[in-house]
Amino acid sequence: MPFEHVAVIGGGAWGTALAQAAAMAGRSVTLVARDRAVIEEINQQSRNRAYLGDIALSDNIIALDHFDARADLVILAVPAQASRTALAAVAASLAGRPVVLSAKGLEAGTQRRQSEIVREVAPGAIPYVLSGPSFAADVAAGRPTAVTLAGDDAAATEEVAAALAGPTFRPYAAGDIVGVEIAGALKNVYALACGAVEGADLGASARSALIARAYAELSRITVAMGGVASTLTGLAGMGDLTLSCTSTQSRNYRAGMALGRGGHPSGAELAEGVLTAPVARGMAHRLGIDAPLIDAVNLLLAGTASIDDIVAGLMTRPLKRED
């Protein structure tokens, strides 16, 4: 299937960046946005300055305020907590269509993964999950980026990946939807923790140790959820974890830095990890998985313990073998 027409739902930074990637791959793209100013700027000036500065957008992108029924491939690019509402608005139009999910987060209240929400709200749609080390500005600017695209059907997943592959955007097809989703959601929580280490000036050694232990914790949870451990060695696992836990381009990392300095992060509600952290804690406890790092992030967010006390607690946990 050629997938000539792509509809991207979400006019923020990530939605616009993915629209750009699809356009650079030769697709005809409609970007569905709510903000009239964003729609007009994209159509008249090929810019979305509110989210991506002065990056020039492809002429193959047309912004609309409604879903384009011609689309044979749909990309959902709204925040994780908004996915259910966005899908419900177009559910009737998604039957038989592949829907690429790009949000990285677990739904508050239900602990649902993004693909589970699709199956509930739009059961006729075919879900795929896009994740991996990628910042919107890099994708939109045409900087080399490699990601994972997971789907249930191997051949169909490869076709969708090929439709989105361009000169600087390379999706690798995979089959572990669960593992890719869990890795994408939890890396935001661990990015908060690593940002807090940076904000508290605890040093690069502490941050590197935290990333390694986060990987171990993530592995336990992923396998318990039915994911494949080897998924975490790839782009959606270690690749995305490393990027989000080391760069100030990451909104979650910046929010964590504010926490580490003893404050509350500005705009924390926009950082997916802030909303996912309590959901992840509930999920880990339900599974009976020891998740001290997720617990620590929740203590920081609740303001019930200082980072010094949390670090002291982690450092005095009983010693055990790493293997």
Say if residue 231 is exposed, middle or buried (CB neighbours under 10 Å; 0-12, 13-18, 19+): buried
DSSP secondary structure of 14-77: HHHHHHHHHHHTT-EEEEE-S-HHHHHHHHHHS--HHHHTTPPPPTTEEEESS--TT-SEEEE-
Q: Which two tokens stand for residue 178?
A: 């669960």
Contacts 24+ apart (CB under 8 A), 143-146: 143/168, 144/168, 144/170, 145/169, 145/170, 146/170, 146/171, 146/172, 146/235, 146/239
Active-site pick, 104, 113, 187, 207: 187
Task: Look up residue 109 and give its DSSP letter.
Answer: T
196 Cβ contact list (under 8 Å, min separation 6): 256, 257, 259, 260, 297, 300, 307
Q: Is there a catalytic annotation at residue 104?
A: no
Locate tokens 């384009």: which residue?
A: 68
CA gap 278, 185 in Å, rounded:
12
CA gap 185, 241 in Å, rounded:
10
SS3 content of the chain, % helix, strand, coil (to 5): 55, 10, 35
* Residues acting as catalytic residues: 187
